[in-house]
Amino acid sequence: MARLLLLQLLAHFSSTALDPYHKLAFSSTALHITSSPSQSASTGMASSDAACPSEVEIELFPFIRVYKNGNIERLFGKRTVPASLDATTGVASKDLTIDPATGLSVRLYLPPAATATAGGAKKLPVLVYVHGGGFMVESAASPTYHRYLNALSARAGALAVSVEYRRVPEHPLPAAYDDSWAALAWAVDACAAGPGGPEPWLAAHGDGSRVFLAGDSAGANIAHNVALRAAAEGLPLPPDAAIAGVMLVHPFFWDPSNTMAPELEVRIRREWRFTCARPDAEVDDPRICPTSAGASARLAAMPCGRVMVAVAGDDFLAAKGRAYHAALLASGWRGEAELVDTARQGHVFHLLRPGTEAAAEMLGRVADFISRA
């Protein structure tokens, strides 16, 4: 029965030419490894997006190839666009390096609504956004995310901080978690600096008491883990800073239940070991399995009043997202948990097909979640 289901899903998703995530999930030959991930993720790796005249050591299709000479080839999500003034939305953007030691940078988005906050008027909510891409590909500067953050910033009237975190395999987890935590802390601090602060957009227009944390796919996984770190440690800066809401769109979560197709279960476990650069990494790790043992206490401490979990009906990750939402409701957390369940759509459909009616509706749901703060 599981084999039949897998074949049906393969047939369905093979026609989804724009959706590399589905091709990844249902390819039983997607990963080829000739040595351990921990060896391949060593500091001897050299980042490269050019074709490499060397034998392939690891192929994690459609994300990445690692060659025996240490070079890395990313297979999609390589294009970038510069920060700019967007003619369609009127949103201005700029890039800033916020930690020279690690190279951590962010792309800021200032919407036209900022003009209404000049002179001491009500400030704007701040959205800290973490992009997806399996922890391995895509960028805060990619055309996909630049277009989306322009549209979302304008629609929600929010000042957005898009995080350019360090990626796998050059920087195994927890680098992406640590970078995103650092970006959140930096944004809150910059809001509190006031006029004349080191980052004038956030100082003049950002409301550090209305911070939203969001991401899609692997970025949603990161956003969840950063939120739990905030719950455990507290935001390290101004006492009036607060996370008003968390939005997890098509989150990359898993669990050890073995309820999915066998090929997919094997696939995700291999990918997680590669991502962590640890051959002993397991999917009961609470970072990827937020419904693992002890989950209730962690989820009950979610440091905000509202959470949105969005899933897509044709996404193989949808069941995990629904389970997360159910676990959050059952945890004793006293906030409002909203589930947005879009039928007949695939993983990150709103990013891959932005001109569709479904994508417009999804943009509206996310923007309204922010605007209600």
Residues labelled as active-site residues? 217, 315, 347
Rounded Cα distance, 78 and 12, in Å: 26
Angle at 175 between CA 43 and CA 137, to 5 degrees: 80
What's the chain's Rg over C-alpha atoms?
20
Rounded Cα distance, 19 and 315, in Å: 11
Separation in Å, CA 135 to CA 17, 73, 317: 21, 14, 16
| Beta strand extents in the chain (DSSP E only) | 31-33, 46-47, 56-60, 64-67, 71-74, 92-99, 104-110, 124-130, 159-164, 206-216, 243-249, 306-312, 336-342
Give every CB contact of residue 292 below 8 A, 6+ residues apart in sequence.
255, 256, 284, 285, 286
**Sequence letter at residue 22:** H
208 and 239 Cβ atoms separated by less than 8 Å: no
- Residue pointed to by tokens 């899933």: 311
- Render 151-201 in DSSP notation, one character per residue: HHHHHHT-EEEEEE---TTTS-TTHHHHHHHHHHHHHHHHHHT-TT-SSHH
Structure tokens at 114: 């900022």
Structure tokens at 275: 């991502």
HSE (CB half, 13 Å, CA atoms) of 164? Answer: 20
152 and 111 Cβ atoms separated by less than 8 Å: no
Rounded Cα distance, 277 and 193, in Å: 38
